[in-house]
A and B are shown apart, each in its own frame.
Chain A
Amino acid sequence: MSSKNLKLFTIPFNIQNPVTVQVLGICSALAVTVKLMPAIVMGLSVTVVTAFSSLIISAMRDYIPPRIRIIVQLVIVAALVILVDQLLRAFVYDVSKALSVYVGLIITNCIIMGRLEAFAMGNKPWPSFVDGLGNGAGYAMILIIIGFTRELLGSGSLLGHTMIPKAFYGAGYVNNGMMIMPPMALIVVGLIIWIQRSKNPELIESK
């Protein structure tokens, strides 16, 4: 991978993160992060869909009539999402039930359409694929951080395994029920944005 492509891949992890900097895909970040497992699967699904829709759209970009390009993008994204949904239903049924409608809602995830319009329509397939992969992974990273925090503090477990020793509960420790509620996901996102901004002064808007 050339250094230019590598940058495409790494930039969404930090100063161009789709969730914390561009504030896209917040809806699903709140909804599927009560437990770590659905957050991981959702992150992977979105990564697969962004990467491959970018690849396909980029390969077709010279043949797509501009007047119907949004429809073409939607058809490709929808087809990939249905494919992912069918695969989840066949192989990880439990997780697919936990994600319920949110898998279908990947179609409306702004990150995907955003990358297709902003990048894939004007770049070669390979850089587009890398860009999609990076942005999906940047989104997945935030979901996993939130899912990790919420499951650990809210349910005292990780991936369903109990993490907090019994003695802690005996000593009066209680799981934070607030963490299970969607608003806490927003607060965790806020904390991540706060940390990220204080580390990267270039993200702070000039007054």
Chain B
Amino acid sequence: MKNFSNTYIYIFSSVMVIVVALLLALAALQLKPYQDKNIEVEKKQNILASINIIATPANAAELYAKYITNSYVVNTKGEHLDGIDAFRVDIKTELSKPKEERALPVYVSTFEDGKNAFVVPLRGKGLWGPLWGYISFEKDLNTIFGANFDHQGETPGLGAEIKETFFQKPFIGKKIFEDSTQFVSIKVNKGGVDPNDPHAVDAISGGTITSKGLEAMVDSCLVLYKEYFIQNKK
């Protein structure tokens, strides 16, 4: 076995690391447009899922163009903000800004029968990582029309169940306002919930922290839209 000097080892490792880093940076740069497109398609799929339309990656763009007929951005006072593309708004960055400066996207969908649904994004924390999702409302901006949640790394079989339909379905028909002006959000309660309770759904057994995180996410994100909802309800 040959003997290598320390100098050789230092030069060897430095050169190797620099070459590898350059190659990887180049690859990441070249592949970014494709990856961004996939993320965009997934976002469209999630928005469509929240209005109860199941889209595949192949037809997501087409269905999105068909059903999402309008989108705009509002602030916490319920005023429209001009010149911002709602689809490009990253709710994660918005939530890190001061409350008054946040741009809050609203997606409006129109169905074949002329009915509308209003979709807003959600983002919060679960047990292991971020949670996110979309929730849609009927034109009274009070009754939930559909909900879709996803997560990064919640426990499989427990917290991860929030992305299953059996958990998301009970949200449909629930109301976020009491007496139409008092914001109460939706509670995610352990140990069985009266299905007729308009403001609560059943939590996931064994997924308490994820369930509570989801409840906090729904509450903290929807409260931002409170003024907009009150002013625009029909």
Quote the shortest CB–CB distance from B59 to chain A (angstroms).
Answer: 14
Q: Which of B8, B12, B16, B42 has the most CB of A within 10 A?
A: B16
Is the Cβ of A86 less than 8 Å from the Cβ of B27? yes
Grouping DSSP codes into helix (H, G, I), strand (E, B) and loop, the A interface class, with mixed when no group exceeds half, is: helix
Quote the shortest CB–CB distance from B12 to chain A (angstroms).
Answer: 6
Is the Cβ of A93 less than 8 Å from the Cβ of B42? yes
A71 to B, closest residue via Cβ: B13
Quote the shortest CB–CB distance from A155 to chain B (angstroms).
Answer: 15
Chain B residues contacting A79 (CB-CB under 8 Å) are 20, 23-24
Quote the shortest CB–CB distance from B109 to chain A (angstroms).
Answer: 24
Q: Is B28 an interface residue (CB 8 A)?
A: yes
Chain A residues contacting B17 (CB-CB under 8 Å) are 75
Question: What 1/0 mask marks residues of chain B from 11 to 30 whose CB sits below 8 Å from any chain A CB?
Answer: 01100110010011001100
Binds A, one of B31-39, B169-177, B187-195, B202-210: B31-39
Q: Is A171 an interface residue (CB 8 A)?
A: no
A90 to B, closest residue via Cβ: B34
Bound complex: CA of A11 vs CA of B142, how far in Å?
66
Given A72-B16, A83-B24, A93-B42, CB of A66 within 8 Å of CB of B1: yes
Chain B residues contacting A65 (CB-CB under 8 Å) are 4, 8-9, 12
B28 to A, closest residue via Cβ: A86
Bound complex: CA of A62 vs CA of B9, how far in Å?
13
Quote the shortest CB–CB distance from A76 to chain B (angstroms).
Answer: 8
B13, B16, B31: the one contacting A89 at CB < 8 Å is B31
Which chain A residues in 54-68 approach chain B with CB under 8 Å? 62-68
Quote the shortest CB–CB distance from A90 to chain B (angstroms).
Answer: 4
Is the Cβ of B35 less than 8 Å from the Cβ of A90? yes
Is the Cβ of A67 less than 8 Å from the Cβ of B4? yes
B2, B4, B20, B38: the one contacting A93 at CB < 8 Å is B38
Q: Is A117 an interface residue (CB 8 A)?
A: no
Question: What 1/0 mask marks residues of chain B from 28 to 65 whose CB sits below 8 Å from any chain A CB?
Answer: 10010011001001100000000000000100000000
Bound complex: CA of A79 vs CA of B35, how far in Å?
18
Is the Cβ of B1 less than 8 Å from the Cβ of A75? no
Contact-size category for B: 20 to 34
Bound complex: CA of A159 vs CA of B31, how far in Å?
26
On chain A, the number of residues with a Cβ less than 8 Å from chain B's Cβ atoms is 21
Q: Is A87 an interface residue (CB 8 A)?
A: yes
Bound complex: CA of A90 vs CA of B41, how far in Å?
12
Bound complex: CA of A188 vs CA of B125, how far in Å?
37
Chain A residues contacting B16 (CB-CB under 8 Å) are 72, 75
Bound complex: CA of A86 vs CA of B23, how far in Å?
12
Chain B residues contacting A63 (CB-CB under 8 Å) are 12
A76, A87, A89: the one contacting B38 at CB < 8 Å is A89
Is the Cβ of A93 less than 8 Å from the Cβ of B57? yes
Bound complex: CA of A94 vs CA of B56, how far in Å?
10
Question: What 1/0 mask marks residues of chain A from 11 to 39 whose CB sits below 8 Å from any chain B CB?
Answer: 00000000000000000000000000000
Bound complex: CA of A63 vs CA of B34, how far in Å?
37
A78 to B, closest residue via Cβ: B20
Q: Is A187 an interface residue (CB 8 A)?
A: no
Chain B residues contacting A68 (CB-CB under 8 Å) are 9, 12-13
Q: Is A6 an interface residue (CB 8 A)?
A: no
Bound complex: CA of A140 vs CA of B13, how far in Å?
32
Given A79-B23, A93-B42, CB of A86 within 8 Å of CB of B9: no
Is the Cβ of A87 less than 8 Å from the Cβ of B57? no
Chain A residues contacting B8 (CB-CB under 8 Å) are 65
Bound complex: CA of A89 vs CA of B23, how far in Å?
17
Bound complex: CA of A89 vs CA of B27, how far in Å?
12
Quote the shortest CB–CB distance from A86 to chain B (angstroms).
Answer: 5
Chain A to chain B contacts (Cβ below 8 Å), 13 pairs: A63-B12, A64-B12, A65-B4, A65-B8, A65-B9, A66-B4, A72-B12, A75-B16, A86-B28, A89-B31, A90-B34, A93-B35, A93-B42
Which 8 A/B pairs are nearest by Cβ-Cβ distance?
Answer: A90-B34, A65-B4, A93-B38, A90-B31, A79-B20, A65-B9, A89-B35, A90-B35
Binding site for B on A (CB under 8 A): 62-68, 71-72, 75-76, 79, 82-83, 86-87, 89-91, 93-94
